[in-house]
Amino acid sequence: MINFAIVGAGFIAQKHIDAINNAEGANLVAVCDTNEQRLEEYKELCNVYTDLNEMLEQQTDIDVVNICVPSGLHFKLAEIIAAKGKHIVMEKPMALTSSDSEKIIAIAEKANIKLSVVHPNRFRPAIRALQDIKSKGLFGKLSHANATVRWNRGQEYYDQAAWRGTKEFDGGVLMNQAIHNLDLFIWFMGPIKSVQAMAATRLRDIETEDVAVGVVEFESGALGVIEAATTIYPKNLEESLSIFGEAGTVKVGGPNAIYFETLNVSDINEEEKNKLIENIKEDPFGKPGHQWIIEDMVRAVETNTEPVVTGKDGLAPVKLIESFLESAETGKKVFLQ
């Protein structure tokens, strides 16, 4: 068994706990949070701590620590955990800057520990099927792609915690809500060469953007369009990823990018297409993405291999978002290299 601990007992921690409890080969041994009240519900489940250093010193059986604190604290905690030789599962975003993300990668490499970033949408059935189509070259030459997140996060969402919507600890719609979609955008289309964008804070009383639009050029020469907003009334409308190539047009959509809304690929006949669409409708989420991440970390530790979603994977969307916001601020095209 690989023993896991969690630091940060907020909302997302429950997904990690469920994933660890359901994952083969994983065992939860500790939860840490500076807020004692949050720890009450976990006291019968595992050991609890209010100090990370104390947990790492006393709980010597920990193999992996899952970082679930506000994003602005990721680098600081990763540094402490890596110094103790513990592997890391990092909640998204990896960090709020590419500089901190690169530092996390460097300290993990120096400490010879595994680092995995939580981008669980890669494991949804429709996304896995889309990746299979892409990996087989069935799209042919790619022309462009579209990443869209049209969600609602009302003011009450941001008011739940003082760190939400701040530049120091949280980030805006791109870093917080759209980052999983942007991870898929890059995963399918490859490295990005340049971005030109606009962003604004239109409806929410926050420091960061609540709506952003932009265009990108991939290193392959393909183009892309990004739209992200938390200003949609009255509820989430759409999260989608569309890919267009010389032999295929595919859109994965719905409120959370889980269904094939369009599936037209020259080498997939009508019967195969309908079967694939129906199979995904029957089980659109499949095994929870967090469980995939935990089981993959167990595999990586046991076999001494790299996790499927690496630190470099986590860096890519952070670098895109950073460049996106720089372009929005300066009004100029920004080159990522």
pLDDT tens per residue across span 169-189: 999 999 999 999 999 999 999
Confidence of residue 222 (pLDDT cuts 50, 70, 90): very high
Give percent above pLDDT 90 in the chain. Answer: 100
Strand partners, 303: none
Q: What is the pLDDT of residues 194-216, one digit of tens each?
A: 999 999 999 999 999 999 999 99
Coil, strand or helix at 197: strand
Helix (H, G, I), strand (E, B) or coil at 194: strand
Q: What are phi and psi of 315, to 5 degrees?
A: -70, -40
Six-digit token string for 311? 């630190």
Maximum average pLDDT range among 41-45, 52-56, 161-165: 52-56
- For residues 54 and 74, the answer to whether their CB atoms sit within 8 Å is no
Where do the domains of the chain lie?
2-120+290-309, 122-286+318-335
CB 20 within 8 A of CB 80: no
- State how far the Cα of 269 lies from the Cα of 72, in Å rounded to an integer: 48
Longest C-alpha distance within the chain, in Å? 59
pLDDT, tens digit, 9 for 90 and up, residues 232-258: 999 999 999 999 999 999 999 999 999
Q: What is the pLDDT of residue 337?
A: 74
pLDDT tens for each residue of 253-292: 999 999 999 999 999 999 999 999 999 999 999 999 999 9
- Domain 2-120+290-309, CATH homologous superfamily name and number: NAD(P)-binding Rossmann-like Domain (3.40.50.720)
CA–chain centroid gap for 263, Å, is: 25
Instruction: Say how far apart CA 139 and CA 118 lie, in whole Å.
Output: 27
CB atoms within 10 A of CB 286: 16
CATH of domain 122-286+318-335: 3.30.360.10
